Structure 1
Amino acid sequence: MSAAILAILPTAETAHAILDYAAHYAVLLGREILVLHPWADPLSTTEMGEVLSVAGEQEIKAAQENVARIVAALVDDWAQKHTPIRLRRHEKWGCMTHYIAACGAEAALIIAPASPPKSVGADALDAALFETDRPMLVVPNDKLGGFSHLAVGWKTGDQWRDSVEAGQVFLAEFSTLTMLHQGSLAPGDEQAARVAFGGLPGQINMVSIQEDQRALGEILAEQAVAARADMLLIQANRHHKIMQWFTGSDSRSILANLRLPLLILNG
């Protein structure tokens, strides 16, 4: 499993997009794809304080198994149509947080849905990123996008050099970078961006975004769509939850409303 593309695939909803992005990067990096079907214990999928009967637990597990069969059939069909791509499929029940973190620690890239269902476990997405320190692509819908225009959530003073070096192979595909700068632009901001991303081909555009009552992450996602970007890049500190990076908003509600893929590089 060393340095594979880890595709977290709990449901069929975004399966094709996740697999297509995984195939793109598997070819780019020369890696195989490990498809993981994660399922939490039924007791962990209920609301806090709810008492789950044996019948209720069996019903949830039966529903999960049915979805697992659908996903497995979908993956097998996809694999038959993409025979040059090396792919392995693994289904896992139990504690997702530690398992996904363990799998992700060996991954070249983690690809996950923006809104994982309860059957994955509430902390699985955070664990995949923040306990592995690996690049992560969050896919919001079932459609493969382009790789020409990248929007970047940028703030002068952030330590981007290590992130850019680590993510060079992912970033080099883009011919246009639009830097979504928090606040008004100062004279040295454009130069700082060009120094940080200067090793990449293509042009760099600077766009000033002004904060309002919404969370910063929501504004960045909106502005990235307005700029007609194919993907949004943010830098995240592995010692802080993504919701803290998004400045005081529920990260899951933002991720649920994403309209383009989100690439996250750890700082």
Structure 2
Amino acid sequence: MTNYQHYESTVDQVYRSILQEVSRPWHIQHQPALAGADQAQQAVALVSPRGTVCQRITLPSQSAQHLWPDNSSVSQLVTEYVVRGAARLAPLRQSAFRNNFPHWLERCLQQLHFLIDSKDKLLSVMKDPLFPFPSNVKVGGTYLPCWVWYQEEDKMTVSVIDRRTGQFAEPRNVAPTQLVDRERWLGAQVIDSVEESIDTIQHYVNELIEGQKQREFDEPKLMDAITNPCASTLSPVMSVALTMVVVAGFFITFKWLLGF
């Protein structure tokens, strides 16, 4: 078995394994607009049955309601698309692709919406089992890590990945000849095993869940900190303020007891 065949076999097994774990459908939630946010834009979250936000998308309000109606179920095609990409990403050890994992798990669908505003076309792209896949694209004489989203006529639509942060650049159309020969490229990579790849996905999913829990954690009120300080976490400013109040109260009480 060649290294390329090993990669393809690993991806197939990882995909089937992870897909079994996300068999229950996600649902769509339209998020309330933040103060000062553009009211013409709608933040959309695709949420798992456990409450984890699996994708975040921002669209014009009218498009959001058409493409992702509030409180509706997410098509299985969408879940399969996200899992397919994660399975193709997981066996690769290159730091750029590892850094991209958190962005894939929350923002990959946003990339499609930079180019697609038709529900039929969106589902058509997701149906194609050849896409998406990680690759390298030649830009300005240098090969850069990227995601390939779909092919249209004689153009491939790709998003370059920032090597350091893993963030997506906006999609662009390139000639197929600008992409690295995929079989040769994967043949030269260190490919993780099925078990290692599944562990990688689970690691980044757990990070995603923990990160969302921290973002949703409400800072305790001052009275919570006074009555139960061990269970409370205050910001540095509030901590200093509380300390000053306690110290001032101590000296006022001390002076009163001494009769000053």
Report the TM-score when normalising by structure 2.
Answer: 0.23
Greater RCO (CA < 8 Å, at least 6 residues apart): 1
Q: Look at both structures and tell me which one has the larger radius of gyration over its CA atoms.
A: 2
For normalisation by structure 1, the TM-score amounts to: 0.22
Q: Which structure shows the higher helix fraction?
A: 2
